[in-house]
Amino acid sequence: MTEKTLLNRKVAPRIKDAVDFNLELKPCERYKLDNGVEVYAIHAGAEEVLQLEWVFYAGNSYEKKDGIAAATSFLLKNGTSSKSAFEINEQFDYYGAYLNRNCYNETANIIFHGLTKHLEALLPLVQELVTDASFPAEELAIYQQNMKQRLTVNLKKCDVVANRLIDEYLYGKFHPYGKNNTHETYDGLDLDSIKSFYDRYYRHGHVKIFVAGYLPVNLFALLNKYFGQLPFASAPEPEPEHPRDPAQEKKQRVINDPTGVQGAIRLARPFPSRHHPDFKKVQVLNTLLGGFFGSRLMDNIREDKGYTYGIYSYLQNHLKDGAWVISTEAGREVCEATIVEVYAELKKLREGFIEDDELLMVKNYLMGTILGDLDGPFQIIGRWKNLVLNGLDESYFYDSVRTIQKITGPELNALAQQYLVDDAFYELVVV
Amino acid sequence: MIQFDRFVLSNGLRVLVHQDNSTPMAVVNVLYDVGARDEEFSRTGFAHLFEHLMFGGSVNIPVYDEPLQVAGGENNAYTTNDLTNYYCQLPAENLETAFWLESDRMLSLAFSEKSLDVQRKVVSEEFKEHYLNKPYGDAWMHMRELAYTTHPYRWMTIGKELSHIEQAKLEDVKRFFFKHYTPVNAILVVAGNVYKDQVRALAEKWFGDIPPGTRYQRNLPAEPPQVKPRRMELTADVPLDAFYKTWHMCARMDDRYYAADLVTDMLGGGGSSRLYQSLVKEKQLFSNIDCYHYGSLDPGLLVIEGKLVKGVQIRDAEAAVEAELEKMKTSLVDEKELQKVKNKTESIMAFEDMSVMNRAGSLAFYELLGDAQLMNSELGQYRKVTAEDILRECQAIFRPENSNTLYYLSNPEKEGKA
């Protein structure tokens, strides 16, 4: 007789249900610089690297002329009164650091990634960019030319065109969430508008700082030295009102490329922001519908029918107002069949019983990914940033976790009956 | 410094353990020593299609994803020309679930017709999405066929043509599996909140009784040295002319690799790189330009590609690229520029090593190269590169007879406005 028992491979090893985990969001340190600028910091991680992000309230919601916020964001790294774009890039590159900038709807950021040991050498340069950017005419001309070319190429892609159109339908062409840059937008850019936007929303704008990674001991003193004495505003400017102006016609079919072999499908309905009491619950419902690889949409439309390489649903992460979107690229000849299947899945969520096993899988998956996501310093600060910018605190995080743990199948059915109504969805195919 | 332990099971499976108890998670990474280069030229795309089938159920477990998600985990996989890699991350308490799943699919797949049928379609859609339905999407199919006459890098991992995938049969799938997906041809890395003894016990329990299989003897035809420049011109419904040029370079494990890697950073890495500064900013011939290489295990390609500013003649653009390369071939780079690309390499490595998942993947990759310890010593190899090495490497690579040039031109009748 052997002591070794025969392995039964048909039986899964015992697991601990992730839904029972006790998840903790690592607290974040908060400081205020001399001028009142708030700093949020997470010290964690073994590698001696850090990420430092300046979030300005300088998104496209504040621009008076289309494209100005994005152009300002892009060009603020392309020259100061004493340095050329090349000299600026060379200095960051020399230290193996990255300085990127992104423009969103309410905010625009400048984000630094680099080795902790080189931070001190580079902070004066970031300070120079937010106080003394010069916006050379030549740089604007190159930006206009290259962005127009990039747009021309992108407009050939059905997925790009579909993303642009669905936002236009949901919010209207003049809403910050719905407007899209065109060739005319780039032609219309001018240095005076850019410089005055920069002066108002960067140099004298409101900024919050988020930093994470392996932090130097003198971090606060450094930030205070380079950013604590500058004339930033103590609060964001009130945003101009942007009423939603959604399209009337809900079903849209667009031929962008007559020879295309795939169609980009978007189904989307308006959905409120994180502050709405249903938001957290709907995040669970969304996961079940199309939020992960084991979702119903993926199971049916990719893994059973093979219509697509991937299909997902998600809640847009805007600060003020949002949408619930289902998105896929499918074979041209199966686009309409794909849409039929999507509606069938919505109906099943409204009317069908949600098995305990499936719900437990979704809950465990969500809890497991949050656990994994709370692991790295950049991910933790990302969660904090999302809370701070949305005007929330850690109780929102813990409420979300409790929602995942507690929500039941009948509650999800009720939410589906309320929100996953066919008529509420815009429906778009771009070939 | 990444610490790890290494042992080999009696069936030949190499196991590496990287313990990091600061995370609540565990990562299980299984690398199989097979990629698109191991395919027959009449059945390309198979390694990648096969990767999809690995999620279609194994001999004792009907579906792979569900039990992993129930255990709070997630997973993915990728196939390259050189290798196939599967990885999953889950709460460390549930580590054994990953052993159960990964060992069962190494033991044997379910080989279901339905799964093959669906995944053929899914991969066809992937093929369309990435290579057919995008402007310039087929450029690399043409470039590979131009640059390689003999070596199987001639085709892309997705396959040479859709028909190869559409014609895949279940018997091909089985043959491929038992040839490549065996313990002697695999590397298992377990990382995160795990312990060496625990991993050893679990590895013995779940992988220990899998038959070893036969070590795959790779015997690929070498690409003969290129002796004349090759050129190709094609016209398509794209809005802008695009320029692609490649040169053969050394293999990943060659001593010269580090210099060649740094050359690509000098030419195309970031806002202060030579090609960007000269050709996008100063001369304004290109709206974007990149220089990179694939890090292939067999001798690979160094690439320069970019899109032209509307109205620029592509021959002028090419001449300007060549003028920049001529500088690299005739004068030594200064110390500051060399230090810059070395610093960048150090920084990239540090960022990559932040996540346990990346560390596990890197350990598997370096073990495949022959020694996982390379993960800790490669930065030293970069630091040793001199300006003379850079000069020598540029002279060796950027020879006209070693080059392949593709003009991907906009059809003037169809495309008016830029």
Distance, in Å, from the CA atom of B4 to the CA atom of B345, rounded to the nearest integer, reads: 23
Tell me the residue range of the domain where B138 lies: 5-207
- Is residue B221 assigned to a domain? no
**Chain centroid to CA B290: how far?**
17
* Interchain proximity A146–B70, CB inside 8 Å: no
Question: In the beta sheet, which residues pair with residue B196?
Answer: none
Residue B270: the pLDDT is 85
Which tens digit of pLDDT belongs to each residue from B330-352?
A: 999 999 999 999 999 999 999 99
% chain B with pLDDT above 70 = 99
CA distance B218 to chain A (A): 31
**pLDDT tens for each residue of A29-82:** 999 999 999 999 999 888 899 999 999 999 999 999 999 999 999 999 999 999
Residue A99 three-state SS: strand
Query: Which of B24, B128, B307 faces A375 most closely, judged by CB atoms?
Result: B24
Q: How far is A117 from chain B (nearest CA, A)?
A: 11
Query: How many distinct structural domains can be found in chain B?
Result: 2
- Give yes or no for residue A2 having a pLDDT over 60: no
Identify the closest residue of chain A to B70 by CA–CA distance.
Answer: A361
Q: Is A48 on the interface with B (CB under 8 A)?
A: yes
Instruction: For residue A202, give every residue at least 6 positions away whose Cβ sits within 8 Å of its Cβ, in sequence order, or none.
Output: A56, A58, A72, A76, A130, A133
Give every CB contact of residue B15 below 8 A, 6+ residues apart in sequence.
B6, B7, B8, B9, B188, B189, B190, B199, B200, B203, B207
Max intra-chain CA distance, chain A: 89
Taking the Cβ of residue B175 and every Cβ of chain A, the question of whether any pair is shorter than 8 Å is answered with: no
Quick one: pLDDT at residue B413? 67
The answer to whether the CB of A282 falls within 8 A of the CB of A324 is: yes
Top-confidence residue, A7 or B315 = B315
- By DSSP bridging, strand A49-56 and strand A38-43 are unpaired
Selected from 3.30.830.10, 2.60.120.200, 3.30.450.40, 3.40.50.620, the CATH number assigned to the domain covering A29-227 reads: 3.30.830.10
Instruction: State the pairing for strand pair B5-8/B14-19.
Output: antiparallel
Instruction: Confirm whether B224 is domain-assigned.
Output: no
Tell me if B94 and A16 make a contact (CB, 8 A cut-off): yes
User: How close, in Å, is residue A404 to chain B by CA atoms?
Assistant: 13
Does one domain contain both B245 and B196?
A: no
Are the C-beta atoms of residues A130 and A76 closer than 8 Å to each other? yes
State how far the Cα of A118 lies from the Cα of A122, in Å rounded to an integer.
7
Taking alpha carbons only, the member of B132, B188, B187 closest to residue B159 is B132
- Residue B310, φ and ψ in degrees, nearest 5: -55, 130
> A252: closest CA among A155, A339, A343, A347?
A339
C-alpha torsion angle, residues B168, B169, B173, B175 (rounded to 10): -120
Q: Work out the pLDDT band at A3, boundaries 50, 70, 90.
A: very low
Q: Are A136 and A77 in contact (CB under 8 A)?
A: no
Q: Which two tokens stand for residue B380?
A: 């030293």
B264 in the same domain as B203: no
The residue extents of the domains of chain A are 29-227, 251-430
Report how far residue B10's alpha carbon sits from residue B184's, in angstroms, rounded to the nearest whole number: 10
DSSP string for B344-385:
HHHHHHHHHTTSHHHHHHHHHHHHHHT-TTHHHHHHHHHHT-
Type of residue at B97: T
User: CB-based contact (8 Å) between B11 and chain A?
Assistant: no
Residue B253 has pLDDT above 70, yes or no: yes
Instruction: Let me know whether B339 and B193 are in one domain.
Output: no
Query: What are the backbone angles phi and psi of residue A371, rounded to the nearest 5°?
Result: -60, -45
For B126-145, the pLDDT digits (tens) are 998 888 889 999 999 999 99
* d(C-alpha B418, C-alpha B312), whole Å: 12
Q: Report yes or no: B118 and A308 within 8 Å, Cβ to Cβ.
A: no
Q: Name the pLDDT band for B417 (thresholds 50, 70, 90).
A: very low
pTM beyond 0.90: the answer is yes
Q: Are residues B258 and B148 in the same domain?
A: no
| pLDDT for residue B373 is more than 80 | yes
Q: Which of B314, B148, B161 is nearest to B235 (CA)?
A: B314
- Stretch B383-407: mean pLDDT, rounded? 98
CA B143 and chain centroid, separation: 17
Length of chain A: 431
CB B390 within 8 A of CB B263: yes
Residues 49-78 of A with CB under 8 A from B: 49, 77
Contact present, B83 and B31 (Cβ < 8 Å):
yes
Rounded to whole angstroms, the Cα distance separating B217 from B178 reads: 14
Please say if the pLDDT value at position A113 is more than 90: yes
Domains A29-227 and A251-430 share a fold: yes
Q: Would you state the pLDDT for residue B418?
A: 40
Beta-sheet strands, E only, within A294-345:
308-315, 321-331
Closest chain A CA to residue B101: A12
Cα dihedral B149, B153, B156, B160, rounded to 10, equals: 40
- Give per-residue pLDDT as tens, B97-117: 999 999 999 999 998 899 999
Residue B120 touches chain A, beta carbons under 8 Å: yes
Residue B202 pLDDT class (50, 70, 90 cuts): very high
> Could you give the dihedral angle defined by the CA atoms of residues B154, B156, B162 and B166, in that order, rounded to the nearest 10 degrees?
100
Query: Using CA atoms, how far apart are residues B154 and B405, in angstroms rounded to an integer?
Result: 15
Q: How far is the C-alpha of A273 from the C-alpha of A16, rounded, in Å?
A: 33
Q: Which residue has the tokens 């621009």?
A: A63
Q: What is the CATH number of the domain that holds B30?
A: 3.30.830.10
Compute the nearest-CA separation of A24 from chain B (Å): 11
Q: Residue A374: pLDDT above 90?
A: no
State whether A15 and B418 contact (CB < 8 Å).
no
Cα angle vertex A162, ends A160, A167, to 5°? Answer: 105
Contact B299, B279 (CB under 8 A): no
In the prediction, which pLDDT does A95 show? Answer: 96
Q: Which amino acid is at B350?
A: A
DSSP state of B283: S
How far are the Cα atoms of A81, A288, B84, B375 from residue B69, in angstroms, in the given order?
55, 12, 22, 31
- If you average pLDDT over each of A368-372, B18-22, B66-70, B401-405, which comes out highest? B401-405
Taking only the tens place, the pLDDT of each residue in B222-235 is 999 999 999 999 99
**Half-sphere exposure in the Cβ direction for B69 (13 Å, CA):** 21
The interface pTM score, or ipTM, of the predicted complex is 0.91
Sequence-distant contacts of A312-317: CB under 8 A, at least 24 apart:
A313/A286, A313/A289, A314/A286, A314/A290, A315/A271, A315/A279, A315/A282, A315/A283, A315/A286, A316/A177, A316/A271, A317/A386
Contacts of A6 (CB under 8 A, 6+ apart): none
User: Measuring CA to CA, which residue among B84, B104, B92, B68 is closest to residue B29?
Assistant: B84
Edge-to-edge strand order for the sheet containing A321-331? A251-254, A426-430, A262-272, A321-331, A308-315
Last residue of a domain, one of B175, B207, B239: B207
pLDDT at B250: 97
For residues B247 and B297, state if they share a domain. yes
Are the beta carbons of A55 and A210 closer than 8 angstroms?
yes
Specify the pairing of strand A308-315 against strand A321-331. antiparallel
Are B195 and B268 found together in one domain? no
Name the residue type at position B81. N
Token pair, residue B216, equals 């795959």
Strands B230-236 and B403-410, bridge-based pairing = parallel
Q: For B128, which of A261, A302, A360 is closest by C-beta distance?
A: A261
A256: how many CB neighbours lie within 10 A of its CB?
Answer: 17
**CB burial class (10 A; 0-12, 13-18, 19+) of residue A278?**
middle
Same domain, B167 and B18: yes
Taking the Cβ of residue B238 and every Cβ of chain A, the question of whether any pair is shorter than 8 Å is answered with yes
Contacts of B147 (CB under 8 A, 6+ apart): B230, B246, B248, B301, B404
pLDDT at residue A234 in the model: 94
Could you tell me the end-to-end alpha-carbon distance of chain B, in angstroms, rounded to an integer?
50
CATH superfamily of A251-430: Metalloenzyme, LuxS/M16 peptidase-like (3.30.830.10)
SS3 call for A180: coil
CB contact under 8 A, B281 and A369: no
Q: From the candidates B3, B122, B125, B312, which should be mutated to test the interface with A, based on the most A CB atoms within 10 A?
A: B125
Classify residue B225: in a domain, yes or no.
no
Average pLDDT over residues A92-121: 97
Look at the block and give the residue holding tokens 């603020």. Answer: A76
- Does residue B296 sit in the same domain as residue B401? yes
pLDDT-derived band at A201 (thresholds 50, 70, 90) equals very high
Q: What are phi and psi of B203, to 5 degrees?
A: -65, -45
Give tens-digit pLDDT for A311-336.
999 999 899 889 999 999 999 999 99
Contact A153, B239 (CB under 8 A): yes
Q: What is the pLDDT of residues A261-302, one digit of tens each?
A: 999 999 999 999 999 999 999 999 999 999 999 999 999 999
**pLDDT over 70 at B173, yes or no:** yes
Calculate what percentage of chain B has a pLDDT beyond 90: 88
